[in-house]
Structure 1
Amino acid sequence: MDTEEEEEVSLTDIELNELIESLCLSKVEEFVMLGYEHVSGKDIWDCVSDKYRKTGVPSLHQIVNDILSLKSTAFMNWMTISMYKGAQF
Structure 2
Amino acid sequence: MDKEPFENEEWVQALNMICESKAEEMRLIGYEQVTADDIWRCVSSKYEKTGIPPLHKLVNDVLSLKATALMNYMTIAAYKGSPFQY
Q: CA deviation at 1:8?
A: 6.6
2:38 to 23, 39, 43: 43
Aligned to 1:79: 74
Compute the RMSD of aligned alpha carbons.
1.3
Counterpart secondary structure, 2:52: coil
**TM-score, structure 2 normalization:** 0.92
Query: What is the CA deviation profile of residues 40-76 of structure 1, one whole-angstrom value per residue up to 9, with x for unaligned ones?
Result: 1011000000010011101111100000000000000
Instruction: State the TM-score, normalizing by the size of structure 1.
Output: 0.89
| 55, 58, 64: which one aligns with 2:53 | 58
1:19 maps to: 14
Q: Percent identity?
A: 51
Q: Which residue of 2 aligns with 1:3?
A: none
What amino acid is aligned across from residue 27 of structure 2 in structure 1?
V
For these two proteins, the number of residue pairs brought into alignment is: 83
Residue 12 (structure 1) shift: 1.1
AA aligned opposite 2:68: T
Which of 1 and 2 has greater Rg? Answer: 1
Moved over 6 A (4+): none
